[in-house]
């Protein structure tokens, strides 16, 4: 929830949390997540994608042609960081440029390091540092993708039940929506119909109904109901 209050300068602002934004008691912006931690996700995500792309084509003779996609993803990463810091691509490149030792010699890359307390190892995210050269003995493991599963929400369970929530019919089920719960209390309405009572009681903006009940709702007619 948000609340309004006056700052020392007399301005009105908000207090609370919205996504990654927080406001303090004095109305000032509070960055609750460390900037370096957010920067670490930029090279990490792009490097995982590009590394998998390179590993797949290591058997080809012209794997060096992937230099162009590498440059595109690298530039995209630097532009994103520059936008977050309100800086330039050149400054971001100088800030995160690093060198790593590889079996093929020293390579240039971009690296973000996040120091941690309590003696824990720092978190390191790196983009680059691998040579784009053919490997005749490379083994490609083409795994089947893992399908992500998620818990069904309440509306899906109500649809699977296959029953009109007004008359308990089972043919032609549809979902009636309202914009917000406050719309159920329209001024001038003498008596609230049963479907309004049901939605208000459940505090839900959706109602699973059959086609006939849905038409009655939109026409303003009394809907058939088996509920008391």
pTM of the model: 0.47
> What residues have CB less than 8 Å from 179, skipping those under 6 apart?
205
Tokens representing residue 108 in the block:
């240039």
On whether the CB atoms of residues 98 and 110 are closer than 8 A, the answer is yes
Output the CA–CA distances (angstroms, integers) from residue 202 to 37, 155, 195, 206, 226, in the order listed: 41, 12, 11, 10, 17
Give the pLDDT of the chain (228 residues) as one tens digit per residue: 334 433 343 333 334 333 344 444 444 444 444 565 677 788 888 888 888 888 888 888 888 899 999 999 999 999 998 998 899 999 999 999 999 888 888 889 999 888 888 888 888 888 888 888 888 888 877 777 777 666 667 888 888 888 888 888 888 899 998 888 887 877 766 678 888 888 888 888 889 999 999 998 888 877 666 554
Are 171 and 162 in contact by the 8 Å Cβ rule? The answer is no
Q: Can you tell me the distance from the alpha carbon of 139 to that of 120, in angstroms, rounded to the nearest whole number?
A: 34
In the chain, domain spans? 1-32, 35-128, 154-219
Q: How far apart are CA 61 and CA 3, in angstroms?
A: 63
Which two structure tokens, joined as six digits, stand for 186? Answer: 């329209």
Backbone angles phi, psi at 25, to 5 degrees: -65, -30
């Amino acid at each position: 929830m948000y609340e309004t209050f006056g700052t020392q300068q007399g301005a009105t602002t908000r207090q609370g949390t919205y996504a990654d934004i927080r406001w303090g008691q004095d109305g000032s912006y509070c960055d609750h997540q460390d900037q370096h931690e957010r920067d670490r996700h930029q090279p990490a995500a792009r490097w995982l994608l590009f590394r998998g792309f390179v590993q797949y084509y290591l058997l080809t003779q012209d794997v060096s042609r992937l230099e162009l996609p590498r440059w595109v993803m690298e530039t995209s990463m630097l532009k994103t960081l520059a936008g977050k810091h309100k800086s330039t691509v050149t400054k971001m490149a100088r800030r995160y440029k690093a060198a790593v030792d590889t079996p093929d010699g020293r390579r240039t890359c971009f690296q973000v390091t996040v120091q941690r307390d309590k003696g824990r190892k720092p978190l390191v995210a790196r983009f680059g540092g691998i040579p784009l050269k053919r490997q005749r003995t490379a083994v490609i493991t083409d795994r089947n993708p893992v399908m992500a599963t998620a818990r069904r929400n309440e509306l899906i369970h109500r649809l699977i039940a296959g029953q009109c929530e007004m008359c308990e019919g089972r043919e032609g089920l549809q979902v009636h929506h309202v914009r917000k719960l406050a719309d159920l209390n329209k001024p001038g309405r003498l008596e609230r119909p049963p479907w309004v009572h049901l939605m208000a009681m459940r505090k839900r903006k959706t109602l699973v109904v059959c086609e006939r009940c849905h038409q009655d709702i939109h026409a303003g007619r009394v809907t058939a109901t088996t509920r008391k």
